[in-house]
Amino acid sequence: EDYAKKRKPAAYVQVIIDLPSPQAAEILPGTTAILCGFADAAAVDAAPKKDFGSKFGSDGGYLCHFIRIDQLRPMAELAAFLKTYHLQSTHKSTIQRIRNAFPANHR
């Protein structure tokens, strides 16, 4: 959970990779990967948690947030979302730089 709190990307993209077996040691060129959809950090933070286990069949030992694939936002919306996210982030960081430059007692 500490890792998840520190890491807040604009979007999480769900990718399904078609490997020949669960024990595959590498992803070979030409492997099929399906981009299923995306969710923003707020949606992921609000999602329930689950132990997805390890590839060896036992518990993974930690919980991960999960959103069902049919509840993800479509990939066709990702570019517009990222553009809006970037504009909002730029605006927030500009305001923060101004606040840092002018302490509260000098505003």
Spell out the domain ranges in the chain. Answer: 2-75
Backbone angles phi, psi at 64, to 5 degrees: -125, 145
- SS3 call for 45: helix
String of b and e for 37-76 (b: at least 16 CB within 10 Å)?
A: bbbbbebbeebeeeeeeeeeeeeeeeeebebeeeebbeee
pTM above 0.75, yes or no: no
pLDDT per residue over 35-91, tens digit each? 999 999 899 989 999 888 776 667 777 888 889 999 999 999 999 999 888 877 766
Q: Are 15 and 36 in contact (CB under 8 A)?
A: yes
**How far is 1 from 7, CA to CA, in rounded Å?**
10
Q: Please tell me the predicted confidence (pLDDT) of residue 24.
A: 86
Q: Please tell me the predicted confidence (pLDDT) of residue 107.
A: 44
